[in-house]
């Protein structure tokens, strides 16, 4: 039986990945610092599941001890500081988590003899504006934010770790992931923020003119791609995980309002976000060929499921 350690496994994407791994019969260990508090999806129920967990930051000096105890066959590295705005305001903190935290994980992998690592990178933040659309993995990276720079640096370190140890590092460049269990505050994505407010009948604030675009991919599809990546014998480099469909923020808001019968004209507009990419949509041809993966959840279906999640949260409060 394969033993897999998932960093960030109590979080939004991580909890869905953990679900898939358990369903596949794997032994799962979770490392998560629960930094976003009580809303963490698995934080309050790990003791009820057949999962060993440690409340631990990936930068911790105690991480090597955990690796020695667990002896994982594979690692899925999802833990990250994922706030582009905060990375602009405090790039040192962003680099500390996303670069030095990754290096700590890689060094633990080296010492424990881990043979495979799947890394959650970023598709939108790495390529920057001016890239061909949809953007293939062969496009030169031009990150516009410290967050993107840190993710690119982490990819390079993983490539060096794999070459030096003979292990396999698979880097998945996620598009904008959304879906149930996403945190609606702090590092949240725009879908979670909007869905939580729309579900509560509250107005939303759209940054800039709202015509900036993103590739919104459903979390269940992302979890599927991540688990598939653990079985790839050899990856040719980074792999985009998205839909290939470009959606504006204005269009996203209209879809959410339509789903609950709200007037989309109720939106307010605020200032643009420094370092934010104008347009982003990923070419996922390589994922189809290498992983045998394609997104299966349409945006409208995924948004309805996300809204239902936030409606249940409102009722539970």
Residue 48 has pLDDT above 50, yes or no: no
Give per-residue pLDDT as tens, 174-203.
999 999 999 887 556 899 999 999 988 888
Residue 47 has pLDDT above 70, yes or no: no
**Nearest by Cα to 16 from 130, 167, 24, 101:** 24
List the structure tokens of 238. 């980074």
Contact 169, 158 (CB under 8 A): yes
Q: Any idea of the CA torsion for 22, 27, 29, 30, to the nearest 10 degrees?
A: -10
Please tell me the distance from the alpha carbon of residue 204 to that of residue 187, in angstroms, as a whole number.
17
CA 79, 313, 305 angle in degrees (round to 5)? 75
Give per-residue pLDDT as tens, 104-163.
999 999 999 999 999 999 998 899 888 999 999 999 999 989 999 999 999 999 999 999
Query: Residues with catalytic annotation?
Result: 147
Phi, psi values for residue 29, rounded to 5°: -120, 135
Please tell me the distance from the alpha carbon of residue 30 to that of residue 61, in angstroms, as a whole number.
17
Please tell me the distance from the alpha carbon of residue 305 to that of residue 310, in angstroms, as a whole number.
9
Mean pLDDT of the chain: 91
Give per-residue pLDDT as tens, 257-313.
999 888 877 789 999 877 678 999 999 999 999 999 999 999 999 999 999 999 888
Domains of the chain: 3-175+219-243+282-296 (3.40.50.720)
What is the percentage of the chain residues whose pLDDT exceeds 90?
Answer: 74
Q: How much is the pTM?
A: 0.94
Q: Any idea of the CA torsion for 273, 275, 281, 287, to the nearest 10 degrees?
A: -130
CA distances, 1 to each of 12, 21, 67, 146, 249 (Å): 25, 11, 17, 39, 44
């Amino acid at each position: 039986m394969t033993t897999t350690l998932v960093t960030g496994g109590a979080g939004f994407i991580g909890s869905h990945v953990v679900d898939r791994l358990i369903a596949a019969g794997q032994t799962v260990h979770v490392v998560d610092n629960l930094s976003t508090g009580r809303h963490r999806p698995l934080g309050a129920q790990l003791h009820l599941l057949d999962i060993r967990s440690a409340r631990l930051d990936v930068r911790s000096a105690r991480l090597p001890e955990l690796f020695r105890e667990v002896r994982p066959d594979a690692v899925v590295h999802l833990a990250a500081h994922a706030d582009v705005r905060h990375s602009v305001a405090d790039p040192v903190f962003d680099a500390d988590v996303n670069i030095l935290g990754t290096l700590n994980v890689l060094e633990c992998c080296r010492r424990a003899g881990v043979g495979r690592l799947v890394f959650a990178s970023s598709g939108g933040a790495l390529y920057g504006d001016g890239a061909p659309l949809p953007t293939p993995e062969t496009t030169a990276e031009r990150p516009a934010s410290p967050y993107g720079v840190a993710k690119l640096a982490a990819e390079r370190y993983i490539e060096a770790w794999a070459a030096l140890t003979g292990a396999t590092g698979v880097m998945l460049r996620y598009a904008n992931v959304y879906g149930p269990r996403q945190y609606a505050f702090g590092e949240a994505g725009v879908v979670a923020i909007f869905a939580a407010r729309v579900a509560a009948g509250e107005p939303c604030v759209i940054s800039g003119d709202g015509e900036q675009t993103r590739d919104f991919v459903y979390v269940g599809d992302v979890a599927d791609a991540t688990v598939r990546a653990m079985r790839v014998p050899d990856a040719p480099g980074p792999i985009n995980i998205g839909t290939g469909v470009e959606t504006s923020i204005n269009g996203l808001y209209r879809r959410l309002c339509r789903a609950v019968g709200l007037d989309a004209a109720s939106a307010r507009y605020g200032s643009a976000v420094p370092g934010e990419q104008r347009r982003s949509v990923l070419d996922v041809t390589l994922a189809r060929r290498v992983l045998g993966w394609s997104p299966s959840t349409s945006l409208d279906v995924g948004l309805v499921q996300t809204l239902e999640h936030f409606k249940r949260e409102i009722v539970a409060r």
